[in-house]
Amino acid sequence: MPLTSDQYLRYARHLSLPEFGEKGQEKLLKSSILLIGAGGLGSPLALYLAAAGVGRLGIMDFDVVDVSNLQRQIIHRTQDVGTSKAKSAKRGVNDLNPGCQVDIYEEGITSANALELIAKYDIVIDGTDNFPTRYLVNDACVMLNKVNIYGSIYRFEGQATVFDTRKNAEGKRNGPCYRCLYPEPPPPGEVPSCAEGGVLGVLPGIIAMIQATEAIKVLTGMGRTLAGRFVRYDAMNMSFRELKLRPDPTCPVCSANPTVTKLIDYQQFCGMSRGGESAMSTENLEISPTDYAAIRESGKEHLLLDVREPFELGICQIEGNMNIPLGQLPNRLSEIANWKNGLVIAQCKSGRRSMKALETLKKHGFTNVLNLQGGILAYGEEVDPSISAY
Ligand SMILES: [Zn+2]
């Protein structure tokens, strides 16, 4: 459909971009995006995407506006305190661009409603900060062949990527999914939320604008997206870093032989207790970060086995480690066979994956193995402040 004269005026600055032009604007006007959450990320996303001319926005949020939201959730106003965030966001979008159709959902996303809901939109932007939702949205997007644009924020740092698991002409996926990066949810309560840890008010604006840019690129087919790349932003140093991501060939949802083929109970998946997961007692198998620092200091010979994914090492690592991701460990034991009787200290982000690694090592005859308690996060907190948390 050709643009109307109002649309020619409104989108004039897009139309004068030869890479974008009328074709790009028409594509945007025909497209739809589901925004999960109308909070720190969702607020600027909704405003800018509506301004840019995305035809239809789904805005999902079960919460009401609180006065403490206004420091960053810029779609809501002081007079909206106490009203539904979804309704307030719809008002904000339509004040800015009455031509944008807004569907609101004043509920949370669940395994029961996710597939039906996501199927109605071209792409999904997850602006929530809880792990059950992240895994749920990821799995549903992979199953429905939808692009999921990821962003997260905490204190002064943010991250963004595009999970585009659609297949190209050769049948290869464009990039990995969230589970390829984070095969295991963190132990409940281990990762503090923005409510506990705080967040710089302007930070979500930057990350949301990366997400909005990527959404527009995916919808119009312009440029090179962040699929397979992960951007980390540090406001304190005003620095951006890019890490490469690879699909996990053993990923339970996006690999050639998936084991998760329908939505599961994500609360349960993310709430599994440590004890229930590991058959081993952790007693006498853990070493505290300070005790481990003493071992390093003493020069005692040992193997530090980091079982995280390679991109996580790009964020931070303890010097001298050997990296074998947990999923690859059973097939790569020969590489560390000469450590069977030596001291092996396994380490991951929080100590949970490395505890699983210990089970594998013990089963294969490694006699002197320890788990770094609390992982690299605890080590960073207690021993080496130069290690950046994530
Ligand atoms: Zn995957």
Kindly report the pTM of this predicted structure.
Answer: 0.76
In a domain, 389, yes or no: no
Tell me, yes or no, if 251 is annotated catalytic.
Answer: no
- What is the SS3 assignment for 88? helix
**For 175, which DSSP code?**
S
pLDDT, residue 186, reads: 78
Q: What is the pLDDT of residues 165-214, one digit of tens each?
A: 999 889 899 999 999 998 888 776 666 666 667 899 999 999 999 999 99
Tell me, yes or no, if 348 is annotated catalytic.
Answer: yes
Q: Which one of 227, 243, 271 terminates a domain?
A: 271
Q: Which one of 219, 244, 271 terminates a domain?
A: 271
pLDDT over 90 (residue 67): yes
* Same domain membership, residue 300 and residue 246: no
- 254 CA to centre of ligand 1 in angstroms: 4
pLDDT, residue 283, reads: 62
pLDDT, residue 183, reads: 86
Domain of residue 378, residue span: 274-382
* Same domain membership, residue 256 and residue 284: no
- 357 CA to centre of ligand 1 in angstroms: 21
Q: First CA to last CA across the chain, in angstroms?
A: 46
In a domain, 14, yes or no: no
Contact 124, 148 (CB under 8 A): yes
From the candidates 180, 194, 251, 270, which is the catalytic residue?
A: 194
- 329 CA to centre of ligand 1 in angstroms: 18
C-alpha–C-alpha distance, residues 69 and 203, integer Å: 13
pLDDT, residue 276, reads: 40
Work out the percent of the chain whose per-residue pLDDT is above 70.
Answer: 95
- 137 CA to centre of ligand 1 in angstroms: 12
Write out the residues surrounding ion ligand 1, Cβ under 5 A: 177, 179-180, 251, 254
> Looking at 17-31, 136-150, 348-362, which range is the least confident one?
348-362
Count up the domains in the chain and report the number. 2
In a domain, 344, yes or no: yes
Q: What is the pLDDT of residues 214-250, one digit of tens each?
A: 999 999 999 999 999 999 999 999 999 999 999 999 9
pLDDT over 50 (residue 26): yes
List the one residue out of 146, 148, 136 whose CA is nearest residue 262: 136
* Same domain membership, residue 225 and residue 128: yes
The mean of the pLDDT values for the chain is 92
Strand order of the sheet with strand 322-323? Answer: 286-287, 368-372, 343-347, 303-306, 322-323
